Structure 1
Amino acid sequence: MARGKDIDGSMSVPTFYGKELRWKREEAGLSLDAFLKGIFYGKTYLSDIEHGVRRMPLDLARHADRVLGTDGFFERNCESVRKARRAGHAEYFEKVLEAEKHATTIEEWCPMLLPGLLQTPAYARAVVLAGLPLSLDEEVEEKVSARMARARLFEEDHHIPEYWVILHERLIIEPLLPDPDMAAQLDRITELADRRRIIPQIVPRKQKAHPLMAASILTMKFPDAPPLVYTEASYTGDTIDDPALVEQYRKAYDQLRAVALSPDTSLAMIKSAAEDYRNGKQPDRLE
């Protein structure tokens, strides 16, 4: 089969190698089914790789080299694709980056910081500099841009997950930013909620004891795979797939949701706090 279009080297690395895989497969005259013979991946999974949506696992890269006679090309470049997909993010966060694009439901509990998916550039920049104060400007901006890119998840036409987030009240009333920037940050949350992209809830500070007091967690459910839980500390994170432990975390999240304020009440309080910051008045409490 003749090559119909040259690959644009300026495109993203995962897209570049996905297109290269498709071209090599079609050049060899192999259908998706024929190419996948002898390895346990489905056609949808392979199609996602060819479109740059999923990264190529090492075993599939080796299979491609063997079937297509590409002399180790795809195996050698697996790490390049992995690094490109997580640019601006820590290596331990890689599984979340891959998984959240395919999740039907994402649920987060954030007691200390607003989650990356909801952060404005100003908030993300403050968080990055607080954790890595000696970072060069370009390093900071790479991380900030990476967080902003994650938020495109809420703008996709074909796949928007159901996203629930539970926030502690202190994140709203103890500002990390100057008043105008804090107002803009809360406006971002309310804008997403008003567009029905997210459902926020608040755990009020008067709730002294509650589930998950010592952890921030992110849970993900998928249409064709078991659920995952991600937990994080300052410089490390852990993705958990053990069914019993995942179920324990999910039960704790449900119990936390039960002690949080309702979505409508929570959203009204966030909007009120944003207005206070806009008027130069720091909110004392949300209740």
Structure 2
Amino acid sequence: MPAPRELDPHASLASYFGAEIRRLRERLGWTQERLAEELGWSLSTVASVETARRSPPAGFPEKADLVYGLPEVLAHLAELVRSQPRWFERYLDLERQARRINMWSMHLVPGLFQIEEYARAILKAGRPMDPPEVIEERLAERMKRQQILERAEPPQLSVILHEAAVKQPVKSVDVTRAQLQRLRDLGRRPNIRIQVLPFAAGEHAGIDGAFTIFEFSDEPPVGYALCRDSGRLIDQADEFEWATLNYDQLKAEALSPEASIGMITGAMSHIWIDRNP
């Protein structure tokens, strides 16, 4: 089993909180099991907090302050963590740490696969009132996420796109074609599997919206349901089971990777955009 990836404490406030819990534990020479015993929480809770895969539950920071002999330092930090609009920070933490990512996207090419001009157009369309500097800041963050694709040991990705995402023109013919070319090139990498769910599939298991399933080397998998400006962690057993079943159903109904690459290639020659009113 590969070693767990190190958490970047600068990635988010949640990551910093988790890194502090771990740093203080290791300074005492304690294992996670020992800390869990001292805190009165489960081992899985301690591990998930340390890796920022969940927020510290109520009472956890205060008890940790007592155990570590700190004057409400962790409790104050936890308040900052909870006050942040951090749903996407949590998503990014999961994305960075996952060894496998299963993703369903209905309308657009996922951010991990977007080229710069495509992403910029999407960001502008979704937030037309945002000033250019805000758009560019968000664009830079999106492009930075793609660094995980170029790691020495990149995650395994299984991505299912609806045909609507493949055939949705964005910005211009040239930009759309370049985006499809990028998608096709990524689909040929050994660690990336891309499938397209055709219109002919009709109603389907992903019709409620996009979601992602993250698998890890040392922790149970979790899911994330995504919508426009928010997201929701899927970690309850029954709900996660449904997400997994839905993904498996989409995968079974989608075209094969080879046929999907063929559809993407064909779409590159049939892009039509009418900007006239």
For normalisation by structure 1, the TM-score amounts to: 0.71
2:12–2:89 contact (8 Å) kept in structure 1: no
Q: Corresponding residue for 2:5?
A: none
> Judging changes above 3 Å, is the alpha-carbon distance between structure 1 residues 22 and 256 closer, same or farther for their aligned structure 2 residues?
closer
Give the aligned length.
261
Tell me how far apart the structure 1 counterparts of residues 234 and 109 of structure 2 sit (CA, whole Å): 22
Q: Corresponding residue for 1:230?
A: 224
Q: Corresponding residue for 1:72?
A: 72
Encode CA deviations 1:168-193: one digit per residue, 9 max, x unaligned.
12222231121222222223223322
- Flag the structure with more relative contact order, 1 or 2, with Cα contacts below 8 A and sequence separation at least 6: 2
Tell me how far apart the structure 2 counterparts of residues 62 and 122 of structure 1 sit (CA, whole Å): 46
The SS at the match of 2:171 is coil
Q: Corresponding residue for 2:38?
A: 38
Encode CA deviations 1:221-242: one digit per residue, 9 max, x unaligned.
3344443232223233222222
The SS at the match of 1:172 is helix
Tell me how far apart the structure 2 counterparts of residues 258 and 26 of structure 1 sit (CA, whole Å): 45
Structure 2: gaps (5+ residues): 1-9
- The one-letter amino acid of 1:251's match is L
The SS at the match of 2:201 is coil
Q: Corresponding residue for 1:204?
A: 198
Structure 1 residue 164: Cα displacement = 0.8
Tell me how far apart the structure 2 counterparts of residues 165 and 206 of structure 1 sit (CA, whole Å): 19
2:108–2:168 contact (8 Å) kept in structure 1: no
Q: Corresponding residue for 1:172?
A: 166
Tell me how far apart the structure 2 counterparts of residues 271 and 136 of structure 1 sit (CA, whole Å): 35
- The one-letter amino acid of 2:148's match is L
1:106 pairs, out of 101, 107, 114, with 101
> Judging changes above 3 Å, is the alpha-carbon distance between structure 1 residues 16 and 94 closer, same or farther for their aligned structure 2 residues?
closer
Structure 1 residue 79: Cα displacement = 5.4
| Superposition map of 1:2-151 within 5 A | 30=29, 38-39=38-39, 40=41, 57=56, 61-62=61-62, 65-78=65-78, 91-151=86-146
2:173–2:272 contact (8 Å) kept in structure 1: no
Q: Sequence identity of aligned pairs in percent? A: 31
1:166–1:257 contact (8 Å) kept in structure 2: yes
- The one-letter amino acid of 1:211's match is A
The SS at the match of 1:114 is coil
> Judging changes above 3 Å, is the alpha-carbon distance between structure 1 residues 262 and 42 closer, same or farther for their aligned structure 2 residues?
same
The SS at the match of 1:206 is helix
Structure 1 residue 272: Cα displacement = 4.4
Structure 1: gaps (5+ residues): 1-10, 85-89
> Judging changes above 3 Å, is the alpha-carbon distance between structure 1 residues 262 and 237 closer, same or farther for their aligned structure 2 residues?
same
Tell me how far apart the structure 1 counterparts of residues 136 and 211 of structure 2 sit (CA, whole Å): 25
Task: Please identify, of 257-266 and 134-143, the stretch whose mean Cα deviation from structure 2 is larger.
Answer: 134-143
Q: Corresponding residue for 1:8?
A: none
Encode CA deviations 1:189-235: one digit per residue, 9 max, x unaligned.
23322332321101122333333233222222334444323222323
Encode CA deviations 1:121-177: one digit per residue, 9 max, x unaligned.
22222222222211122221222222222222222335x332111111222223112
1:173–1:283 contact (8 Å) kept in structure 2: no
CA RMSD of aligned residues (A): 3.8
1:154–1:197 contact (8 Å) kept in structure 2: no
The SS at the match of 1:177 is coil
Structure 1 residue 103: Cα displacement = 2.7
> Judging changes above 3 Å, is the alpha-carbon distance between structure 1 residues 66 and 149 closer, same or farther for their aligned structure 2 residues?
farther
> Judging changes above 3 Å, is the alpha-carbon distance between structure 1 residues 210 and 32 closer, same or farther for their aligned structure 2 residues?
closer
1:106–1:220 contact (8 Å) kept in structure 2: yes
Tell me how far apart the structure 1 counterparts of residues 244 and 54 of structure 2 sit (CA, whole Å): 27
Tell me how far apart the structure 1 counterparts of residues 193 and 260 of structure 2 sit (CA, whole Å): 9
2:53–2:90 contact (8 Å) kept in structure 1: no
